[in-house]
Structure 1
Amino acid sequence: MSRFEMPAEEVLRAREKLVLDHFHDEVRQDWDATLSTFPHPHYELIAQMLVHDGDREVRDYYQDTRVAFPDQDHEIIALRHSPDAVIVEFWLMGTHHGPLGRIPATGSRHRTRMTAYFIFDEDEKLVTERVYFDQLTILKQLLAGLDKRKPADLMKLGRAVAGALSMAGADPDPRLTGTTEPDLTD
């Protein structure tokens, strides 16, 4: 299919239903149902340049994020279609009750605007969820809830900054950096 041709309406409706079911199942933390939307689970987190590939890695990602934000939820802002994807703009929200990588729990809430591309192959199978967001937006909100006049919160702030800095030096996943320019001649 050309990048200028849209699939038939019934294809777009089926894709949209699958994506909305995926979102709903994530909020319910029904990982089996969420993972069933993929033939092979694959997440790409562009802000962190991380890939979670396969059932085990994606389940671990779900577990880690729900330990950090057990009440994680979302509000959909807009949903769009492209020839090979459903694109969802949404607010991701949650309260930081557990460690986020090396960042200790702050008890603060965040509400972060994100975009996710749900990419489908030629057989209409979901092959990738690619998520774009600004990590600094989340970190600023998590740290803003700390009372800088309280010694305990100052210590937590120091641990959070040290944790964020220690995670910043990781090498990007080469599957995200080894891109090729598309042929736009047609």
Structure 2
Amino acid sequence: MASSWDIKHRLTEAINAHDLRRVLDYYSPGAVYVSPAGIAEGHEQIAWLYEQLFKGFPDYHLTAWFEAADCENPAVTEWTVTGTHTGRFLLPDGRELEGTGRPITLRASCSVFVENQKIATHREYFDQLELYAQLGFGLTKLDVLSM
């Protein structure tokens, strides 16, 4: 029987290989993936999320640098995410950003909850502002409602 860590490590290998079929093999059919970009529920939505990453960043890669080894479930990891933005990438407002050629390096962490040898919940945390700044976006002035 594979441990939560075994499943998490195999998922990371599948992500780094951009093998979507293998990625989905590690998620339960009703799994929930939560990230700053939104919530994906089930294989279809989770597949779509990974497809967006793999298209936008064809060299997308996760490198684990800390694992909370004394905790089996959830398996908690801190990462460095790297990639080069050469493909289209969907922005939160629905527009697609054409490849900029810019490299990204992000700090991230995640918690993976495993039930019955499959990932039931995957929570990913990263700073969206850090990502968008590296893609060339700056802060914009917000319209403030008067009270």
TM range (shorter): 0.7 to 0.9
Normalising to structure 2: TM-score of the pair?
A: 0.80
Alignment check: 8 A CA contact 2:55 2:87 kept:
yes
Q: Can you give the 5+ residue segments of structure 2 that lack an aligned partner in the other structure?
A: 141-147
**What residue number does 1:44 align with?**
34
State the aligned residue count. 133
Greater RCO structure (CA 8 Å; 6+ sep) = 2
Normalising to structure 1: TM-score of the pair?
A: 0.65
**What residue number does 2:125 align with?**
132
| Aligned equivalents of 2:19, 2:42: Cα separation in 1 | 17
Name the structure with the higher strand share.
Answer: 2
| Aligned equivalents of 2:72, 2:85: Cα separation in 1 | 37
Give the C-alpha shift of residue 104 in structure 1: 2.9
Match of 1:109 among 103, 106, 121: 103
Q: What secondary structure, in the 3-state scheme, does the structure 2 residue paired with 1:97 have?
A: coil
Give the C-alpha shift of residue 62 in structure 1: 1.4
**What residue number does 1:19 align with?**
8
Match of 1:74 among 62, 66, 89: 62
| Aligned equivalents of 1:56, 1:124: Cα separation in 2 | 20
Give the C-alpha shift of residue 84 in structure 1: 3.0
1:111-143 Cα offsets, whole Å, 9 max, x none, are 00000100124x454201100000011111121
RMSD (CA atoms): 2.1
Say which is worse superposed, 54-63 or 98-107, in terms of deviation: 98-107
Q: What secondary structure, in the 3-state scheme, does the structure 2 residue paired with 1:39 have?
A: strand
* Amino acid corresponding to residue 34 of structure 2 in structure 1: E
Name the structure with the higher helix share.
Answer: 1
| Aligned equivalents of 1:71, 1:110: Cα separation in 2 | 10
Which protein is bigger by CA-based radius of gyration?
1
